[in-house]
Amino acid sequence: MRDTRADDLAARLGMTLIDGQGPANRTAFPLVETKLAPPHQRTGIVPRSVLVDRLLAARSSRVAALIAPAGYGKTTLLSQWASRDERPFAWVSLEERDNDPLVLMTYLASAIDRLQPLDARAFELLTTPGAPVASVIPAYIAAAWSVVARPIVLVLDDVHALHEVVCLDAIVTLADLLPAGSELVVAGRGHSGLPLGRWRSRGELFELGVDELAFSAHEADWLLRGAGVELAAPEVLELVRRTEGWPAGLYLTALSIRSADRDPEAPIDLSATDWFVDEYLRTELLEGVPAADRIFLTRTSVLSELNGQLCDAVLDGRGSQPRLEAFERANLFVIPLDRHRQSYRYHSLFRDLLVAELSRSEPELIPDLHRRAAAWLEANGNAEAAIDHLFAAGDVDGAARVVGSLVLRAWYGGRDATVRGWLGRFTDGQLAQYGALAAQAAWVAVLSGDPTTADRLADAAERSSRRDEATPAGSDEFPALTLRAVMCRTGPLDMLAAAERAVDLIPTWDLWRANALLMAASAHLLLGQEDHADELFRQADDASVQAGAAGPRILALAERALIVIGRGDWSAAEAFAEASLAILREARFGHYTTSLLALIVGARIALHQGRTADARALLARCQVLRPALSYALPWLSVQCLVELARIYVLADADPAGARTVLAEANAIVARRPDLGVLNGRLEDLQRHVDSIPRGDPGVSTLTGAEMRLLPYLPTHLSFREIADRLFVSHNTVKTQAISTYGKLGVSSRTDAVRRAVELGLLDQGVLAIAHTVPGGPRSTPAGDADRTDV
């Protein structure tokens, strides 16, 4: 029976849901298919019927949590449960690289999409750089989830790998949106800060821990017999007592006993099975394996996922695939990841043992093993996976090269958390050795609205004295030069000199050339040389087309529109503006700071044409992007703020909004005082605004801090929790919330979300979240903004 919540949720999202039909699964990056299916079950696994029965009986729980250390059979139990439950299971195996909201949401959406196709809007958001995927995608997943004829189960295995707060918040939101009968399962060595206590207090949580997952004597006897070891009942009981029922300990003991030379009639000395005293079983296990196999196991333990070709490359040999298959048949903790048995992994506990043994026996070989793995992965199209191996090998040069080739592409693809993770592995001293990488890192900080980091990295880029003899002269210099121009830290003349030098160095086909031409044009604009600027903006547009780059084109066309507006040529301005906005829509660049000017110009032309509603919609989108403006991008930030103020004063009769954005512009100029003709325009407009009577504060007066708060209002988070995420005090958040309510003309958190969606300040998907999250946004008076915090 169809859950009636589906239609309501879909209506709030503006979605059309059709059972059994959906869009093609388009993602911003290649998916690792083995992450979306449970590991294939081996024969002879101990059935855990009692626990499966308990899981089946707990179907009314919203969340099931299996939390225990490695070796307790969590994944195996989940696989057995999935084989007996009538509900379909979606599966995501998590890892460190999933600590990026876009990556995590893409895997979750893809897992659900395979059971019930998601609306096209969900995958459109997932391929829209900068889109609020963590706050919106859970609603789309839940909407599709609700349409399924019968409830489903979503398993998140190895949830302990997640630590990024935004990712954890998205999982909580998804759990709170589950339709009746469906279930979220989290399994791992820890719960990573998920609110188990809150779910428990609501009666929504079913838990299995160490005590429940430990083997009974009956299960231990089954395991031992399956491993070819028969013990008397007292011996089994003693072994269970000593290992405390730890399945991995029991199994390793069985392997050790099986491999030992002993009289089958003689009693077994269990004194050595005390896992908390020594490493007897670790030693026994590896010593019982033939030397060639032991070398294979230890040397390939540097790999998190194994296949025959990769192992051949790491070992510099052949025949790895049949050996992996043999290990699996021998039940040697080698787990197949697909039905075709092409990919494997070692059980985490066994891998830890192997890594420790490799570090003890052949530590000098470890860097070479990692280098070989990196080389094979990069050559076979998985450069991102190569990064971990390059760092593990201590090959900072190689890591810098690979990260440098990926960082801008990944950032423009919306994976800013992934990019921050890569760059965070380099020290400032190391970045100072790699000028091009430091410049790219600073470029990302500039566009992310992080001026402090941008300044620090720009200094590192400028200090760089590294020159690679194998690289054409100057090719590692032009990113730093383009960065120097874009940050305009010492005025337009220096900006122009850096940009022109970069243009001379950059090949005509390179994306950096379009950016450098854009900077040169902008410098001429700051110097009041509009004709020269217009010609260079045209060249930047042409260079962008040649490089296949949308970003520089959007800004160049918007700048040309403003130039011809100044000449009174509204017809030409309309053509430039329409072209700029069309590219913005096609390339899905609407969430980038550098697209803000195109939206402003579009709003100005819409007002000139009397299309007030269109203008207001564009201005709302400007509000969303405005908090990212900073002194890291001073010339564009001040230009955008001045143009916004001009619209508020001249066309929208909103002096309060003009004062708000001009205050932000003046704060930037205080840090970057030389912005050429912009200084005079700002001063003139400020004098004009000061002469106008003050108006009532409205939506346009929302500050950057209040706009940063707004996306948190639809979530399950209390004000105290929001304060932790924004790194401000609880009282600051309450004050900002009350101010936001007043400017939106509402008196409660729920109404604020609804009004923000109506104005285009929040995606309509969050309205569904606001209406369905239990205990989420409350309808409380503005003076008591969040009763749970008072």
Looking up residue 645, the CATH number of its domain turns out to be 1.25.40.10
| Residue 231 shares a structural domain with residue 357 | no
275 band by pLDDT with thresholds 50, 70 and 90: very low
Q: What is the mean pLDDT of the chain?
A: 84
Q: What is the value of pTM for the model shown?
A: 0.82
Q: Tell me how far apart the alpha carbons of residues 62 and 564 are, in angstroms, rounded to a whole number.
A: 59
The whole-number average pLDDT for the span 270-288 is 51
**CB neighbours of residue 669 within 10 Å:** 20
Domain boundary among 450, 476, 502: 476
Is 663 exposed, middle or buried, given 0-12, 13-18 or 19+ CB atoms closer than 10 A? middle
pLDDT at site 353: 81
Integer Cα distance of 13 and 460 in angstroms: 45
Q: Are residues 646 and 714 in the same domain?
A: no
Picking from 268, 287, 306, the residue at the C-terminal end of a domain is 287
Confidence label for 687 from pLDDT (cuts 50, 70 and 90): very high
Most confidently predicted of 75-89, 278-292, 423-437? 75-89
Averaged pLDDT for residues 747-766: 87
Q: Is the pLDDT of residue 474 over 70?
A: no
β 334-336/344-346 pair status:
antiparallel
Q: What does 347-366 look like in DSSP terms, one character per residue?
A: -HHHHHHHHHHHHHH-GGGH
Tell me: do 256 and 173 sit in the same domain.
no
Check residue 778 and give left, alpha or beta (phi > 0: left; psi -120 to 50: alpha).
beta
Return the minimum-mean-pLDDT range out of 139-143, 279-283, 551-555, 767-771. Answer: 279-283
Residues 163 and 149 placed together within one structural domain of the fold: yes
pLDDT in tens, 213-264: 999 999 999 988 888 888 889 989 988 888 889 888 888 777 767 765 555 5
If DSSP codes are grouped into helix, strand and coil, which group holds residue 396?
Answer: helix
- Structure confidence at residue 659 (pLDDT): 93
We report the CATH number of the domain holding residue 761 as 1.10.10.10
> Which residues span the domain enclosing 647?
478-698
Q: Which of 432, 453, 476 is the last residue of a domain?
A: 476
> Residues 570, 524, 625, 438: is their CA dihedral positive or negative?
positive
Q: What average pLDDT does range 425-439 have in this prediction?
A: 86
Same domain, 41 and 163: yes
The pLDDT, as a whole number, for residue 53 is 95
Co-location of 165 and 197 in the same domain: yes
What is the domain count for the chain? 6
Would you say residue 265 has pLDDT above 70? no
Instruction: Check whether residue 94 and residue 226 sit in a common domain.
Output: no
Question: Has residue 306 got a pLDDT over 50?
Answer: yes
User: According to the model, what pLDDT value does residue 781 have?
Assistant: 36
Dist CA 565 CA 600 (whole Å): 13
Q: Where are the beta strands (DSSP E) in 105-259?
A: 153-157, 183-188, 205-208
Same domain, yes or no: 376 and 404: no
Strand partners, 65: 186, 207
Q: 334 and 313, same structural domain?
A: yes
Confidence of residue 1 (pLDDT cuts 50, 70, 90): very low
Compute CA 183 distance to the chain's CA centroid, rounded to the nearest angstrom: 23
465's CB contacts (< 8 A; 6+ apart) are: none
Same-domain status, 581 and 709: no
Residues 82 and 226 in one domain: no
Q: pLDDT above 70 covers what percent of the chain? A: 87
Could you tell me if 174 and 231 lie in one domain?
Answer: no
